[in-house]
Amino acid sequence: MASVLLSRVLGFFRDWTVAHQIGSNAITDAYYAAFTLPDFLNYLVAGGSLSLTFIPILTRCIAEKRDKDGWRVFSTAITFMGILLTTGIILGEIFAPQLVRVIAPGFRGSERERVIFLTRLMLPAQICFYQGGILSAVQYAKGRFALPSLAPVVYNTGIILGGVLLSSRIGITGFAVGVLAGAFAGNFLLQIYGARRAGAEFHPNLDLRNPDFKLFIKLTGPIMLALSIVFTDDWIIRWFGSYLAPASITWLTYAKTLMRVPLGILGQAVGIASFPFLAQLYSEGRFEELNQTLNATLKGVILLLLPVSALAIAQKTPLVYFVFSHTRMHALDLRATAATLGMFSIGMFAWGAQNILSRGFYAARDTLTPAITGTAITFLNLPVYWMLSRHLQHLGLALASSIGVIAYTVILFVLLNRRTHNAGSRKLLEFFLKVCVASGVGAWVCYEVMKRLELRIPWRSTHGALEVLIVASAAGLLLTALVAKLLRIRELEPYLKKLRLG
């Protein structure tokens, strides 16, 4: 969790550096749009989900004392999927102009040419992401989390350094160069070292008939072929955003990055850390313990994320001023980013919860259900993106994003509880509603305090905004905790005890 915190902070600082060096304009829109094709190619080979599909296979091989079989399927996966990805990158480089017209159709002239150039520059980084993904999965399966979780830290550091050192000479291209350098160092070289330390054995082969490799393809296939909203939301936002006013994609990106800071610390870190244990419990048939672990993990994520999201909505404007007031962003950019952050924060709890729920399915070696559900939600939500973007512009896209992920999370929750016969689901729902009430009261108090402070403090500066945030957040959190105590939310006690001990 500490390394995820650092990587999220660096991820935010990465975008802050773009805002500081370049600002918020059509150039930054092109830069963020250029990530779409590389991200899509990585998604097609399930590069971002390898730990979810490979861990159960390697865990089973180790549990059955078949270590050699585990390393053989590991080698096959790296060899075969690496060849597939390399072919895709070559095709992407050749047909980038045609593909950019599909993924970012709203760009014209020099903006489109800039998207094509940056896309071609960043495409090769996907090899590092794929190989790093499966090398990290080996380390997770062995209970080693340090080096894999450092990958995004090194990656974001590379982008920041690329922007700081090169943007004065080559502009936004400096950040794209940093993407390549960071991916190579953090996601490839560092993970080779980590996998070797974990005892990985690599021998190139194309044993496609291997039963364990067939299982790997069976588990990975639904993720490769599906278009779940978890993965496609950014692409859809950029697609519609390319038709909106210049800087719209940038406002959406900055706002979502801010929303992801607490989300990454709590939801992603807990999901990554709990998954190997969930897979082990399922493999050993300990279903009651599996349900207890899932329920406890979900309660922890809800208890922490709901109050944070409520406070973020209440004080979105001073928060954005605190973060971006010393960049090249103008007052219009700051207000637009703040309003967008409020819309994204509505779905913050759902982004964290779906991370846990989907891993409940993956631990049971079921990647098909989340894939089908996520794809269905994506297509059903497309009219919502379209309608809201027409009426609310960038705010509509952020709101549509929150609506989609909340719907996906609710459906996953229902399906997983039916599958695992979770007796604690009703209590979990009651817990969620109680935390909603407590968070709502806390956010209302926070907002009222903030409005009064803004009359007395020059909050449109970093220092002034920080003063407002500290006082208003303290008042909001205090009321949230008080209402939680009145509602008898017992899960809050361990956190309060730790604070008292601290």
Strongest mean pLDDT among 8-12, 195-199, 361-365, 406-410? 406-410
> What span, in angstroms and rounded, lies between the C-alpha atoms of 432 and 116?
45
Mean pLDDT within 149-175: 93
423, 405, 426: which is closest to 358 by C-alpha? 405
> What span, in angstroms and rounded, lies between the C-alpha atoms of 270 and 272?
6
pLDDT tens-digit readout, 434-485: 999 999 999 999 999 999 998 889 888 889 999 999 999 999 999 999 999 8
Cβ-contact 203, 149 below 8 angstroms: no
Mean pLDDT within 414-428: 84
> What span, in angstroms and rounded, lies between the C-alpha atoms of 219 and 224?
9
Please give the pLDDT value at position 273: 58
pLDDT tens-digit readout, 271-322: 555 666 666 666 666 777 777 878 888 888 888 899 999 999 999 999 999 9
Mean pLDDT within 62-88: 84
Q: What is the dihedral of CA 261, 264, 265, 270, to 10 degrees?
A: 170
Residue 499's pLDDT band, with cuts at 50, 70 and 90, is very low
> What span, in angstroms and rounded, lies between the C-alpha atoms of 183 and 234?
20
Among 67-71, 87-91, 120-124, 181-185, name the one with the lowest average pLDDT.
67-71
> What span, in angstroms and rounded, lies between the C-alpha atoms of 152 and 276?
20
Answer yes or no: pTM beyond 0.75: yes
User: Does the structure show a pLDDT above 60 at 144?
Assistant: yes
Please give the pLDDT value at position 490: 80
Residue 501's pLDDT band, with cuts at 50, 70 and 90, is very low
Mean pLDDT within 7-14: 82
Two tokens at 75? 């080698």
Backbone angles phi, psi at 65, to 5 degrees: 60, 40
| Cβ-based neighbours of 122, under 8 Å, separated by 6 or more | 34, 35, 38, 176, 179, 180
Angle between helices 109-122 and 67-94 (to 10 degrees): 150
> What span, in angstroms and rounded, lies between the C-alpha atoms of 33 and 247?
11
Two tokens at 79? 């060899």
Mean pLDDT within 408-430: 87
Q: Which helix (H) or strand (E) holds 44?
A: helix 36-44
> What span, in angstroms and rounded, lies between the C-alpha atoms of 500 and 291?
31
pLDDT tens-digit readout, 237-253: 999 999 999 999 999 99
Two tokens at 422? 């979770």
User: Does the structure show a pLDDT above 70 at 376?
Assistant: yes
Q: With pLDDT > 70 as the criterion, what percentage of the chain qualifies?
A: 90
Please give the pLDDT value at position 310: 96
